[in-house]
Amino acid sequence: MARARNYSPTTREAARLLGTQIRLARIQRRFSQAELAQRVGVSAETMRKIERGDLGVALGSVFEAAAIAGVSLFDSDPDRRLGETRRIRELLALLPARVDEPSGPVRDDF
């Protein structure tokens, strides 16, 4: 049996917020829950879970529901999103490719 995952309160709150944003956008666009589920390619039960903020739903399904319902996850301007992606990639290029585990006890008594 799979072990239950523990999520922080912030993560649970963010998932619930996104779910309610998707629900609001769906209703404003006059989509039934079943219609949005069909457009996303998920079952009606999965759509209900998305709208409740269930963290067990695949991230791709949640993002697809948000996109189809019209919920902006990032900047709505594609050029700005592309610019932000480039900026982050440039920052990542300056950082080490990987982070190793500490070799000894962490000294934080400074």
Mean pLDDT of 91-107: 84
Q: Which residue has the higher pLDDT, 4 or 22?
A: 22
pLDDT score for 2: 62
Q: How many domains does the chain have?
A: 1
pLDDT above 90 covers a percentage of the chain that reads 73
Residue 48 belongs to domain spanning: 9-69
Residue 103 lies in a domain: no
Q: Which residue has the higher pLDDT, 98 or 102?
A: 98
Which CATH number characterizes residue 51's domain? 1.10.260.40
Residue 85 lies in a domain: no
Three-state secondary structure string covering the chain: CCCCCCCCHHHHHHHHHHHHHHHHHHHHCCCCHHHHHHHHCCCHHHHHHHHHCCCCCCHHHHHHHHHHHCCCCCCCCHHHHHHHHHHHHHHHHHCCCCCCCCCCCCCCCC
Give the predicted TM-score (pTM) of the model: 0.79
Residue 31 has pLDDT above 90, yes or no: yes
